[in-house]
Chains A and B, each alone.
Chain A
Amino acid sequence: MWVNGACNGIAVRVARALTGPGSGAVEGCAGRSGTGRSRVWLGGLLWLVAGMAYGDSLKVAVAANFTAPMQKIAAIFEQQTGQHLTLVFGGTGKFYAQIRNGAPFDVLLAADQATAEKLVQQGLAQPDSRFVYATGRLVLWSAMPRRVDAAGNVLRSGDWQHLALANPQLAPYGAAAMQVLDHMGLTAALQPKLVRGEDIGQTWQFVASGNADLGFVAYSQVLRDGKPLPGSLWLVPANWYAPIRQEAVVLAAGKNNPAAGQLMRLLRSDAIRALIRSYGYGT
């Protein structure tokens, strides 16, 4: 039974794609000439290479702060278009390095504008596809209730051990956090207490697990269905840091993929913009 299933499944389609129709590789299925055992082996082997064949879905690199809304948007996209999205979440700086080195992403949802601009200059992205899909807000967050006050004075109190932020060199939210500390004149004083997450996702996890008392994270990360997570937070005044304008851009690999254009249009639609705003972003 399993062998028959394998005969009709993806493995055979892969085999046909690799070797051409009617070739020896899938005779075991077509002509029932092979022994059962050899067909099992063949099926197993094809299953091993089948992973390589899933190349037709749209691959989207998504800034970690946009994880929660993007999962909802992807579900809507797949429902509307019937096409599969492969989402990869991570730091914008890391994606930039990966794309420069040939990562096969079709679309990038960055956490800043500079990355899309650089990629366009280098011919790695479509110039006319760039647009700001969300403007991020930075919050100071603690998993403990009443830890963070409404004016961020806890930062001056020194009554805590670790302040987590995303690596400022790689993550726009980390750079914004450093601007806030600069604005408050606290950069030098707090330097020994800073711990750095690889991206804003790991930074959130440092705070959520209680390992860091406080952390600068994205507002979207501490909102669930429009309500803040348990703990305490301070919405940092937006003029204390450069606006976090997050740009989407179609990359060179997605140039001829109609699904890329469909996703960009969906991101611009009123319904999706409302959804994005419900996570605390500006649009």
Chain B
Amino acid sequence: MLPVPTFDAEDWAAVGLTVRLATVTTLLLLLLGTPLAWWLARSRSRLAALVGTLVTLPLVLPPSVLGFYLLLMLAPQGPLGQFVHELGGEAMPFTFSGLVAGSMVYSLPFVVQPLRTALAGLGERPFEVAATLRATPLDRFFSVALPSARQGVLNATVLGFAHTVGEFGVVLMIGGNIPGRTQVLSLRIYEHVEAMEYAQAGWLAGGMLAFSFVVLLLLHARGKPALAG
């Protein structure tokens, strides 16, 4: 058993930052991902196949590839960097907003995929019935689709949050490892390991493990692990 170390302000800042990053990322992804998943689930166009592929890409690409492209895109001379600058925003690399942008790309499939599966599983029938009851398309989405797909929404929320908490490679490449601002928990643990502060690393890593286990256990206990099927 590792001795209980004293956690310093930077450790706690990393915990707080990680929770904040995962929360903001998940909320934004639900907001953008739900209409996207709705369209992907119902459209049969070639464009949908193309977009569906793009959405799945972060699942298979190594974080170093994502981080590399993000770094080039977000740089002040990069296309996204220029765009943000013209909108009057501050440069994104090494900032919290940059981490959010990177995390949204990284966790996108983990939010969109469960939503899409759940929405596609509803079939046409409920919507035809709703239409005969004169529900508008918007009504059909909010009163029929979302409530019926709530298990998918829950899965998407939990997986998006947990996956963002577990992020490492992308934030290492675009974050700059600034304590309190871009040093998330996974980076803090890495730094402790490299500095051979194994007591701190061990306790923080153990906390991470326990958190991830409990989250996944809750999902499985509900009977529908989103990634298993």
Contacts and interface: CB of A to CB of B under 8 A. Distances in A.
Contact of A210 (B77, B191, B193): B77
B62 interface: no
A94 B190 CA distance: 10
B178 A211 contact: no
Given A167-B177, A194-B178, A211 B74 contact: yes
B178 A94 contact: no
B195 A195 contact: no
Question: How big is chain A's contact interface, by range?
Answer: 20 to 34
Contact of A209 (B75, B193, B194, B195): B75
A212 B94 contact: yes
Contacts of B77: 210
Contacts of A93: 194-195
Interface string B68-98: 0001101111000000000000110110000
Given A169-B195, A212-B94, A206 B177 contact: no
Contacts of A196: 176-178
Interface string A78-119: 000000000000010110110010000000000000000000
A4 interface: no
A195 B176 contact: yes
B75 A211 contact: yes
B178 A210 contact: no
A257 interface: no
A169 B90 CA distance: 29
Nearest to B76: A210
B63 to A, nearest CB: 14
A164 B72 contact: no
A206 B191 CA distance: 18
A182 to B, nearest CB: 18
A212 B93 CA distance: 8
A161 B95 CA distance: 11
A116 to B, nearest CB: 16
A170 interface: yes
A46 B44 CA distance: 46
A94 B172 CA distance: 15
Interface string B31-46: 0000000000000000
Contact of A211 (B90, B94, B195, B196): B94
Most B CB within 10 A of own CB, among A169, A197, A210, A211: A211
A154 to B, nearest CB: 16
Contacts of B93: 162, 206, 211-212
A247 interface: no
B177 A170 contact: no
Interface in A198-212: 198, 206, 209-212
Interface string A143-167: 0000000000000000001101001
A209 B176 contact: no
Interface of A: 91, 93-94, 96-97, 100, 161-162, 164, 167, 169-170, 194-198, 206, 209-212
19 contacts: A91-B194, A93-B195, A97-B194, A161-B90, A162-B93, A164-B176, A167-B191, A169-B191, A169-B195, A170-B191, A170-B194, A198-B172, A206-B176, A209-B71, A209-B72, A211-B74, A211-B76, A211-B91, A212-B176
A-B residue pairs, 10 tightest by C-beta: A195-B176, A211-B93, A196-B177, A195-B94, A210-B75, A94-B194, A211-B75, A97-B196, A210-B77, A209-B75
Given A97-B196, A211-B71, A212-B94, 16 more contacts: A93-B195, A94-B194, A96-B196, A162-B176, A164-B176, A167-B177, A169-B195, A170-B195, A194-B178, A195-B94, A195-B176, A195-B177, A195-B182, A196-B178, A209-B71, A211-B174
